[in-house]
Structure 1
Amino acid sequence: MRDALSVTSLRTRKDAVATSRLDTVSMPLPLQAGEVVFRLDCFALTTNNLTYAAFGDSMHYWDLFPTGEAGWGQIPVWGFGDVVLSSAEGIAVGERFYGFFPIASHLKVRATRVKPHGFSDAAEHRQLLAPVYNHYQRCSADPAHQPGLEHPLLVVRPLFTTSFVCADFLADQAFFGAQQVVISSASSKTAYGTAHCLGAHPGITRIALTSPRHQDFLRSLGCYDRVLGYDELASLPATTPTLYLDFAGSPDVRAQVREHFGPALVYDCVVGSANPSGEATGVRWPDPRPTFFFAPTQIQKRRADWGAEGFEQRLRAAQTRFLRTISDPHQPWMQIRHGQGFAAASEVITELQAGRTDPRTAHVVSLADA
């Protein structure tokens, strides 16, 4: 019997996410009772992962998979992992699970609340975040899981969950009295997923703010009522009650929006940030102050309102509609680019951080043979 397992991981500079290096450590064996070891198979990489890095300290994302090394962390990703070792009752070697992983060859967790649909990691350092981040979904008991659609699901599932609950939160609050929603970084997948969901509310005008090179792409989607460049913001009526939905994390764009709309700005909602320094600008904004949207809070509310199964049914139905839309063979919204190994992951992170990715492109990285 082995007394250790070699684990390779991609470590990232917390203050410079484009800087990364490989690290290899030994995981002691045998396992303690209740422990499970996953081998990470594949995962998606999007600007959502950069949001985790940008808010890594304040929102405790860096605490999920600590390195024990000052200044270096592991960016969490949503992926599929296969059980290679298990001392937990009800979890068998060879089973496949969906959940949160570090970009690493293996992950050891301590299983608790083991049920037919999955289990949670009881590791103490993971309890500062919402339970959704510690849950591992058993693929064989997951109605949304289809082996032939794993890669599109990897990209869409975490992003669209945020899109769905964000749109639901705004509707639940009657859009704070707004008549239009202005969305920055509108070509991000979470942003246009939110716009897609907002289509269920025809009284709300959806306005995209984007760079010139993405305008044609966004117009082709049909989920925005207007598509504008950042320099065209002034063309909007300044007196219309407006809700700002921020996916860019840019203080400059926020300042432009606030200056233009003034008292007509009724709510300033921060959903994501492609800017790793997004939480450290030091700017104190007047009311309405920027408010970070935390998806798990709305999920917990709707689970209480609708019941856990009621929430899941609504989410699955909306996700299925979205998947059908983006996978339309005549006009697909998304094309998946596959990468292999840690070097591919590092390259994609650098591209995302630099904003060089095509908005139609989605990235899935496999470590199966890495």
Structure 2
Amino acid sequence: MATAHPARNIMVLYTGGTIGMQASANGLAPASGFEQRMREQLAGRADIPHWQFREMQPLIDSANMTPEYWQRLRAAVIEAVDAQGCDAVLILHGTDTLAYSAAAMSFQLLGLQAPVLFTGSMLPAGVADSDAWENLVGALLALAQGVAAGVQLYFHGELLEPNRTAKVRSFGRHPFVTLKRFGGAANVQPLPSELDYRQPKQTATVAVLPLVPGFGAALLQAALDSGAQGLILECFGSGTGPADNTDFLDALAQAQARGVVVLAITQCHEGGVELGVYEAGSRLRQAGVLSGGGMTREAAFGKLQLLLGAGLPMADIRRLIELDLCGELR
């Protein structure tokens, strides 16, 4: 990690989310005007560094987050740091997909020499027992004290790694946890120039399929026929699946032949994938499935978005999947 320096000029990017929502006829909805509310809340505080505010368009409930929006967010961060001279960025984001966005941006911003924090709240600012201001102020104070370059989450006084974090609760002040996942992969040195944050990226179509007992080839084939460029298989245990199903294995082999990247991760909260432990995992490897090691679903999705969208040769994509880029396989 790079040396942490106290932030003096922070860009706040507001994407919407619960933190600034207002009541509507159909329930809580994203609302404009949060900058003024924030200025009133922080008025007179000498411990908060200079900050400026940008309202992203459109403001969204984070359930509506997309890889296309991530590209707009990436561009906004680059503009703030490289063009406007900001030395830190705080992204206000809804909690439902916050872990996905933080993981994705950790890949999209590889090489950025500034800290980027994600935060949000479980209850809107201004309602009883809301966690909004404590998370927002806490994140600003953390940046003021100094946070290392790279992407992290800030929630309820904690800095959390983007590639190990998942939302596990839909209530309370502690919705996010750091999962105990298997690591040990070699780090990529040097980073391919195509992956640098300044290089343009495309969005990719990535499907996710959780395996269940009796899972057959038809659902797998449907996902492959959908035009997906990448497929994340959420496997059992250390990376096993229905290896006695020849149609399933044939579909996986066809995916590799068609240039679809198939990545295995574990459904378990702890541990990771080791495809050679069981025959049921070895046969997946023989069919062209790559090991996601200890990657979370969020990290795997973000990593495939980066690698498939960077214009790399397929051989490089398949090699880099199983190497550590920014802590996802550490």
Length-normalised TM-score, structure 2: 0.32
Q: Which structure shows the higher strand fraction?
A: 1
Length-normalised TM-score, structure 1: 0.30
